[in-house]
Structures are given as C-alpha cells and as structure tokens.
Chain A
Amino acid sequence: MADDTGDTGFRRLDWHTLTVPVDLPEIVDEISYERVVMNAGATWDYFPGHFDPEYAKRQGHPTIFVNTMHLAGFVDRIATDWAGPYSRVVRRKIALAGSIYAGDTMIGRGKVIGKRCNSSGSKPQYLVDLEIGVSNQRGELCCPAELTIEILED
C-alpha cells in the first residue's frame, strides 16, 4: 500500500489502496506481576482480583489477572500499531473467554476483514473492520475481538 508520511512525519494508511484481507503483525507481550499491579494503578480499578493473589485464588483463579481495560488496550494497539496514528478505534466488541494471569504471555493476532465508507454523516468516514484475538502462551484464545477503525483522510 502506498502510505505517505505527510507533514507530521507519521505514517498515514492509504484506505483507498488497501486490499482485503490483510494479516496484521503478531504482537507478543509478557505480563509480569508488575504489569498487573500497574494495570490496577493506571485504570484505578482496585478490584482485589487484580492485586491480591490470595483473593484471586479463593475465587478459583491461579493468581491475579489483568482487567478488561488492559485487554482492550492491547487489542486497540494491535490495530493502531498497524494502521498508524491517523487511525482511531470507533467500535470494539470483545468477549472475555479466559483470563490473562501474572506470568502469562499475551499474543495478539489480527486480520483486516473488510473496508467500507460511511457516507451518512457530513463527510465520508473511511472505515476498516478487523478481527483480533488475544491468546496466552498455551494457545488458548482468551479474548476474541471485533474492531472497527476510522482512517483520517488528508
């Protein structure tokens, strides 16, 4: 695709020449205890399952786990790392099929499954639909997601 970097120096995805489907680069992120605690601190979500391993174990979990916002942030990053900073997430649907625990590795994979132009508003909105999945190091799909991003035009 003929992306240009324009006047800001940042890459701009060319929606018009984008061909579907496209596989996105895989992103791997190791989730330490520090990251799970940082997750609680960054989101202000002090549900004890995100910082207290004893509480988590009493609820049937092996240890503390990341919250929905962290998983959603990783899903968004998979899309916008690929599409560049002239893109933004306009819709995201995720299912929490399994938890990502401290000590786990998150593996994010994505695919572009469609593109469309929404002309219902005052100016056309250039949209890209993606399917994204976050798995753990055992290959278990923990968070399947559907995402739509908007690509800004020049």
Chain B
Amino acid sequence: MADDISYRYAFGTYQDALQMVGARTPPRVAGTAVSGARIQHFAALVRDGNPAYWDPDFATLVWGGLVGPPALLMGWLIPQPWVPDGVRPAAGIAIRVPLPGRTFVNASNEAEFLIPVVEGDRLSVVEEVVSVSPEKTTKLGVGHFIQTLDTFMRDDGTVVALNRNTLFRFNPTEAAGGG
C-alpha cells in the first residue's frame, strides 16, 4: 500500500525543503479532456442537481457546454493510478518537497475561477512551491505547512483558474486523541 503510485514522498530536512521554494513545474497536460461522465459522477457524489452539470441544452446555451464543477478542478490533473507503459505518474509538487513527514492532510485552499471549464477543454497545470513553514506541532503531529500555487490553463493558453493550497506534511503523534 505504501508504494501508491501517486503518493510517493520525497524525504529530507527543512533545509532541503527550502531549496524548493520558488520551484515551478513545466506544464503538465491532463490525460483526457473534461468529460460529461466525470462531471456527472462528481455531481452525483455531491448530490448536486445543477443543470449546468446535467442538462446539455441549458449548459450549452448559458455556459458553452456541460460545466466542469469548480470543486473538481484539481481532479482533472490527477494522473491515472496505473498506466500501460508502467511509467509512474508524478505526484503533486507538494509531496515531492523533501521533508521528514510520512503523511499529509490538507489545511486550507483558496481558488479563483476566472473562466468556466466546459466539456471538451483539455487542461494543463503549472505547479509552484510558494513557501514551507518552520516545524509546527498540531493536534495531529509534528511537521511543516507547504503552500503551493497551481495555475490551470486551457490548451489555447488561457488561464482558467488559480488554486492556492496549504497542506500539513507531518509525522503523527503516537498517542493522537483522534482527528
């Protein structure tokens, strides 16, 4: 289980981590375009009956196509957990920051949706490490907060969304009193 394809961590010290602040990935392109099937499965998960997700006529008239739920933004760029050529897809840049923590939990997220994403859009993302905090102790354990900025683009280069995420990369406190 620990050799999960998308969740292989880089390990190192806080000093190692600071070397990665400011690092930006080259654009990474989604394996497939935004699709009605994924739009509707996510809407079904959230129990969201918004016709922007379900009614192609309405969605096309008002938004230019079935709308990719804003909350699914990050999901369009998550690689498949298995690919036929065996090349392991890269993990998100945040967990490739070398640090001691063996696990993580998301702390906060701020996103701006400049232009609606619609069915057929092929998205790409550039990820950047904005900051790494000094060591902090929380109720979950001891670790570091990592801030990243993801810039999402269509294949015509138009920026459609910006996503600022902060996650806590940590080692759990052994006697954790529950989440």
Q: Footprint of B on A, CB under 8 Å?
A: 8, 10, 29, 35, 38-39, 41-49, 52, 55, 58-62, 65, 67-70, 72-77, 80-81, 85-86, 88-96, 98-99, 101, 152
Known contacts A52-B1, A60-B179, A88-B116, A42 near B109 by CB under 8 Å: no
Complex contacts, A41 vs chain B, CB 8 Å: 41
Q: Are B113 and A90 interface neighbours, CB within 8 A?
A: yes
Q: Are B178 and A62 interface neighbours, CB within 8 A?
A: yes
Instruction: Name B134-179 residues within 8 Å CB distance of A.
Output: 140-141, 165, 172-173, 176, 178-179
Complex contacts, A88 vs chain B, CB 8 Å: 52, 63, 67, 70, 113, 116
| Nearest CB on A from B74, distance (A) | 6
Q: Are A95 and B107 interface neighbours, CB within 8 A?
A: yes
Determine the main DSSP class of B at the interface with A.
Answer: mixed
Q: Are A98 and B45 interface neighbours, CB within 8 A?
A: no
- Taken residue by residue from 49 to 69, chain B's Cβ proximity to chain A (1 for < 8 Å, 0 otherwise) reads as 111100000100111000101
Question: Which B residue's beta carbon lies closest to that of A43?
Answer: B75
Question: Which A residue's beta carbon lies closest to that of B170?
Answer: A59
Question: Which A residue's beta carbon lies closest to that of B102?
Answer: A59
Known contacts A60-B176, A93-B109, A101-B179, A73 near B62 by CB under 8 Å: no
Q: Are B110 and A43 interface neighbours, CB within 8 A?
A: no
> What are 11 inter-chain pairs, A to B, with CB distance below 8 A?
A42-B38, A43-B78, A44-B81, A45-B78, A48-B1, A69-B42, A72-B111, A77-B46, A91-B112, A99-B105, A99-B179
Complex contacts, A98 vs chain B, CB 8 Å: 179
Q: Are A89 and B62 interface neighbours, CB within 8 A?
A: no
Complex contacts, A90 vs chain B, CB 8 Å: 112-114
